Structure 1
Amino acid sequence: MNLDEEFHSKALGGLAVCMTVRETFTFSSVMVKNVVFCEAKEIVAPRMIDASFDGIIGLGCRKAENELPLLLESLHEIGAIDHLIYSVFFKRNFSGGEFILGGINPDKYHGIMTFTEAADETEWKFYATGITLGMHTVRHDSFVALLNPGSHYLYGPKEDVDLIHASLGCDLLKTYCYVNCSTVEELPDLRIYVNDIQLVLRGEDYIRRLDNFSGPICMSTFVGKAKVQYWELGYPFLSSIYTVYDLEQNRIGLAQASTSAALASTRYLSELIPLESLFLVIYLFVFN
């Protein structure tokens, strides 16, 4: 892909027409020049017209289809970070999340972090070995899961999602699955198995609450897709699971996100990142 070339952004589901340009980006006192930036030129979806964004900076795998240099590589080249790695901690409330370029914050997760080889060289995908919802087995074979922070949903094969919705007591003939808002905390946990650990989503994680003039509505974020065998894990998953993206070793780190971590923590140490390493911390505020 060349500079000044227009294309439909895959990161926004093809909802915006972007043009590749070079810009200077500043993070605190760190300035990065000539970063390739996909500037939004046209919004083609009505629901995105009022969204406020200038464009997209890529943080995908190194061998992305457009072969443009990554922001992470530019930061590493000027010595702003020591490692080609970044980690993400999402929060739904006003305390905000955290995005670290070049490091990991172990205060933002608890239990064991598992590292699994990326299943693709162009997108952040990994292999999982099963899914359960409470006592129900949704699937027990290996499948590919794609991490998509740009989505508010959990997309999966239609047969998998139908099993989940049937277990939740939904009418499978309807497009969306609604549950009684007073029962959300009593809903069974969804468990995704990766290596030797279980990644857990509670009912309040996979059910989205919408408030309107007639009262709250609680809707499942699971969406079934016909003729696909992979899962696409959006914000409901990423707000529950701390994720690490390691370009150096082409792997993904996954751990249960901590709900009681203090934002003021300064302890950034892990088996990957030595204490003296350089990294950049950015706080995220994401709202449904």
Structure 2
Amino acid sequence: MIGRTSLRAQLFIAQLTLTRAKKTYADVDELHKTIEQREGPESAGPPAKLWRTLSVTCREISGRPCYTLRPKAPTSSKHVLYLHGGAYVHQIQRDHWRFFERLIERTGCTVSVPIYPLAPDHKSDQTVRMVKDAYNELLGEADPGDRILMGDSAGGALALVVSEALEEARAPQPKELVLICPWLDLTMTHPDQPALDRVDPYLAVAGLREAGRLYSGDLDSRDPLVSPLFGPLSNLHRVSVFVGTRDVLLVDARRLRDRAADEGVELEYYEYPGMFHAWLLADLPEARDALERIATIVSRVRSGPART
């Protein structure tokens, strides 16, 4: 466990509480309203500032836009495929793009971002197929030692799904797999989650369970395609997990940590006391600390041969 909760983070959490940020996931009807109001993929691209400060390109993969962000003068061969969170039903947020900008400034890496299909218009098989295609097309030409798979929340789960698929195909694993507050078990039935729900200022079990239902379609909620916690781990390369203790998904991260230890998977685990879901995207001391750790992970040289 890392550090103590900063005053700035405490004030941020108080603001979340006062503005009833949790309502979206605590109230299933409210969740559906936000789904109806979300923007489409054509409006989800980088803000204007990034087009000025970075080299930005867009290509279509499986009918979906995929953006690639690079420094105007690249200094690193590392390439991150980032899968955004949003419970499979919400679009990428502006905070994500700010996070990518900070990561690129810190490391000189390239970041590619698929705007993948969302539920309920699309089901899990379509989403997973698209992100696999994005991985192969965007990172396929990079050396495995330069590939990093990263994602937050639902995107963290998708990143693990892609890695598990690579394992099953005996294809090279990415150098690093970075999971930020990952949502790894759609069942939302762990006995620790009701207590976590009571202290989580943003997420709630009821809304996540409904979002998971919309996304999984005909699949059982324990199917590794939608709940990768139940999939194979043994041949993954290095995994890093970031999570906070006021996140209803904390239990997923801890279970993954324990499974990795049992199966001999190299996993670095960073748990921040008092932190809420996806706090890394906010402007907080804890987020800056985590960014420094992630920058080190992205930039470091892989030890040992590529795992296939």
Q: Which has the larger radius of gyration?
A: 1
Asked if Structure 1 and Structure 2 have the same fold, meaning a TM-score greater than 0.5 normalized by the shorter chain, the answer is no
TM-score scaled by structure 1? 0.29
TM-score scaled by structure 2? 0.28
